Amino acid sequence: MKIHDSLNGALLLAFAIAVYWHTLGFPEIPGDPVGPALFPRVIAIGMALCAIVLIVRGLASPGPGSWAEIPDWIRMPRLIVAFALVVLGLLVAYLFLDKIGFLVLAPLLLTALMLVLQIRTVVAIPVAIGASFAIHAIFYKGLGVPLPWGLLEPWAW
């Protein structure tokens, strides 16, 4: 998704202001001439300057007038679903991996994504299950990473 450079600049400027505003709450440390606020403040000011240049240049350039270019993939529902699956899949993992369990979430996510990417069901399901178990074996057994069992807790090995 490509948006106009002056919009990019505006977003960056808003972010820089928020950062600077947040640093106002940082304390002065006695005996420390620099303190925790200086470094982030310099960054915020630098960011704001970049943002202003982007805004000014963006508005000055004749270029295409649209504020946002709608990318091709937005018109293809299959690709939107694929994008959403990747983001939502990781979001669910971030929030609920411990509740659901790796060996439940991974095969479901893999199957869904492969089906959306037009892999045949007879291939997708076995590959999804096989890959999930293989990754589980490498990390859980091989490297000792405590991947959560979640729903499968009673059958953990």
Partner 1 sequence: MEAIVQAFGLIFDPYVLMVIGASALYGLFVGAIPGLTATMATALLVPITFFMPAVPAVAAIVTATAMAIFSGDIPGALLRIPGTPASAAYCDEAYAMTKKGQAELVLGAGLVFSVIGGIFGTIVLVTAAPALADFALQFSTFEYFWLVLLGLTCAVFIASDNVIKGLAALFIGLLVSSVGMENPAAHPRFTFDAPDLMGGVTLIPMMVGLFAVSEVLRYVTSVEKPLNLAQDRFGSIFKGQWGLLKKYPVQALRGSGLGTLIGALPGAGADIAAWMSYAMSKKFSKEPQKFGTGHPEGVVESGAANNSALSGAWIPALVFGIPGDSITAIAIGVLYMKNMFPGPQIFLENPQNIYAVFIVFFLANLLMLPLGVLAIKSYKQVLRVSRAVLMPVILVFCMVGAFAINNTQFDIGIMLAFGVLAFFMEKNGFPVAPVILGAVLGGMLERHFTNSIIKADGDWTTFFSRPIAGTLGVVTVLVWLLPAAIALWKRSRRAPQ
- Which residues are 2's β-sheet partners? 69
Structure token pair of residue 145: 């990473």
Is residue 8 a contact residue for partner 1 (CB under 8 A)? yes
Distance CA 145, CA 142 (A): 8
What are the residues whose beta carbons fall under 8 Å from the beta carbon of 62, sequence distance 6 or more? none
Q: Which stretch binds partner 1 (CB under 8 A): 32-40, 59-67, 149-157?
A: 32-40
List 14, 53, 70, 137, residue binding partner 1 (CB under 8 A): 53
The residues in 121-150 that bind partner 1, with binding defined as CB under 8 A, are 123-124, 127-128, 131-132, 135, 139, 143-147
Is residue 108 a contact residue for partner 1 (CB under 8 A)? no
Core vs surface per residue 90-126: b (16+ CB within 10 A) or e: eeebeeebeebbbbbbbbebbbbbbbbeebeeeebbe
Per the document, the length of the chain is 157
List 59, 87, 137, 156, residue binding partner 1 (CB under 8 A): 87
CA atoms lying within 13 Å on the CB side of residue 135: 13
Is residue 118 a contact residue for partner 1 (CB under 8 A)? yes
Closest CB 154 distance from partner 1, rounded Å: 21
Q: Enumerate the H helices of 24-143 as residue ranges.
A: 38-60, 77-100, 102-116, 121-136
Is residue 70 a contact residue for partner 1 (CB under 8 A)? no
Binding positions for partner 1, rule: CB under 8 A:
1-3, 5, 8, 12, 19, 22-23, 26-27, 29, 32-36, 39-40, 43-44, 46-47, 50-51, 53-54, 57, 71-73, 76, 79, 82-83, 85-87, 89-91, 93-95, 97-98, 102, 106, 109-110, 113-114, 116-119, 123-124, 127-128, 131-132, 135, 139, 143-147
